[in-house]
Chain A
Amino acid sequence: MKTTLYNYILELADNCLIAGQRLGELCGHGPSLETDIACTNISLDLFGQTRSYFQYAADIKGEGATEDSIAFLRYEREYKNVLLVEQPNRDFAYTVARQYLFDVFHLLLLEKLQFSQDMTLSAIAKKSIKEVSYHVRFTGDWIKRLGDGTEESYAKMQAAIDGLWTYTNELFEVTEDAKVLAEEGIAIDVSTLKDAYYEKVTSLLEEATLTVPESNYFQKGGKAGIHTEHMGYLLADMQYMQRAYPNMKW
């Protein structure tokens, strides 16, 4: 098995899986019917992307692996998503901020990944760009609405950005696997996306009349499988059926 490539696919896909899972929790509980539809739609896109990645990963892994064994049967320490996407839906501002801070990165990443020397990754990226362009527009618009809306929404939006900012820097951390594959033109060196990312985010936050946090203290660990305490609950929920009823077709 091409372990390096397999690991890199997990690094890409786990972000989609966990972000999709968080948005899926909100179904039927949103502030309006329209936002409910939009959040479900984004969740659906992200799970669709996850499936494409994991089907590819399952081929590489062999040994009877499937998209579902990869999604549902790993231990917490084996998930490589960034800490940002596993953060809970504390309120609508948190949800939107978490998703936006991920979407901007995601789009920048996919715009590069579409030129990957790996044809499967390139194809997945091309398909996903269309979807993620929509996501970033939706979440960006809501940051503006909430930031430049009422006093209350401004305070909540600012609190969400302040709370989540500490998880942004991890997006640009380059893993050993990515480094090796970047040299072959397969993976993207995410550290090269950092300037464009903060420029985009900063400009939108300013437009939303929000303050860009100045903190230089950041958290990391997700890519190495060291997650926040939220992750265990998320996985217990997500994996429940596969753990309780192993080896069955659904």
Chain B
Amino acid sequence: MSEAQLKNLGAERSRSLEEIFEQRIANDQKIEPKDWMPEKYRKTHIRQISQHAHSEIVGMLPEGNWITRAPSLRRKVALLAKVQDEAGHGLYLYSACETLGISRNELYEQLHSGKAKYSSIFNYPTVTWADMGAIGWLVDGAAIINQVPLCNTSYGPYARAMIRVCKEESFHQRQGFEIMMTLCNGTEVQKQMAQDALNRWWWPSLMMLGPTDAESVHTAQSMKWKLKRKTNDELRQQFIDQTVPQADILGLTVPDPDLKWNEETGHYDFGEIDWDEFWQVVKGHGPCNKERMNARVGAWEEGTWVRDAAMAYAEKQQIKKENSAKAV
């Protein structure tokens, strides 16, 4: 075969691979780690899954901040279990990401260098106990809206990880709502604490659903690959429609003077999001960005000697095992 013929054949083969791939996605078949996939699909998934994993890990910090101060043993135990679940979610997601041919250490490196992002919400401080309720109720609530569609996403390992993640997240959300409920049924001071938490977490939670459709650079491609089923704005509307009645049940006021039920559309109309604040936080200049990164990088660097020791020990044990096998 001539070089030109070979080239042709190669192009034909990759075209047909691409066609098979797209056909499979169209048929709702899962893509598995050993299957052929376009490089862009692989990269997009590494970006999204790792960003998700990093969010779980950084997300341990704002809640971990209240473990030692939780007001009752019952709440302390629930909070510990929740943060432990989050670490577990981080683990599944890093594993899912590793099936795409990147190592966990590389992923950490991207997080620590600031190359990879994590959810902007975790750059807000947890200043009172009520924030544990607001995070569960609002932040986990918004996360679920984002994540439930991912249980059906085209990449198998991610979809399977999300099934487990979503189950635990809904449990956390109920727990968060229950904390808010207890505060709202409590004393005047507790109720104020709950209202203050809602005031501080409402807008950042809406921002979790991402920039508006007009600004979102990845939406079109992600919809094609079923990484996304609805646009950011649709998901945000769904979150608001679902959450406002819950605020009513709590007897709390959503901090948006423009929020109003719209009979015609069957949705809530709401006020303008402060996108300058969103971009400021995303670019690394939110209230806690530096502290969160310092905590993560600090833990990693201070832990180096521990990880080195574990490696050295494992090697020694391996050598011992080989030597005793030889002796037999």
Contacts and interface: CB of A to CB of B under 8 A. Distances in A.
A37 B77 contact: no
Contacts of A148: 313, 316
A149 B68 CA distance: 32
Interface residues on A, range: 35 or more
B161 to A, nearest CB: 15
A27 to B, nearest CB: 4
A148 B187 CA distance: 55
A51 interface: yes
B87 A40 contact: yes
Contact of A32 (B69, B295, B303): B303
A27 B306 contact: no
Interface in B267-314: 295, 298-300, 302-313
A68 B70 CA distance: 11
Contact of A47 (B76, B304, B306, B307): B76
Nearest to B185: A249
Given A30-B299, A51-B73, A54-B73, A36 B87 contact: yes
A70 to B, nearest CB: 9
Given A25-B67, A30-B303, A36-B60, A250 B75 contact: yes
A148 to B, nearest CB: 6
Given A44-B81, A48-B77, A245-B190, A35 B68 contact: no
Contacts of B304: 31
A28 B61 contact: yes
Interface in A122-157: 144-146, 148-150, 152-153, 156
Q: What DSSP secondary structure best describes chain B's contact surface?
A: helix
A245 B128 CA distance: 12
Nearest to A36: B87
B129 A250 contact: yes
Contacts of A248: 71, 186-187, 189-190
Nearest to B296: A28
B313 A245 contact: no
Given A28-B299, A238-B68, A242-B71, A153 B309 contact: yes
Nearest to B59: A28
Interface residues of B, number: 50
A68 B60 contact: no
Given A145-B313, A245-B190, A250-B129, A40 B305 contact: no
A145 B67 contact: no
B182 interface: yes
Interface string B75-112: 11100110110011011001000000000000000000
A29 B69 CA distance: 17
A148 B213 CA distance: 56
B166 interface: no
A196 interface: no
Given A237-B68, A250-B129, 15 more contacts: A24-B68, A25-B67, A25-B68, A28-B61, A31-B300, A32-B307, A34-B91, A67-B74, A68-B71, A146-B306, A156-B305, A237-B69, A241-B70, A249-B186, A250-B186
15 contacts: A27-B60, A27-B80, A33-B90, A36-B60, A37-B91, A50-B73, A51-B74, A146-B313, A148-B313, A148-B316, A149-B313, A238-B69, A242-B71, A250-B71, A250-B183
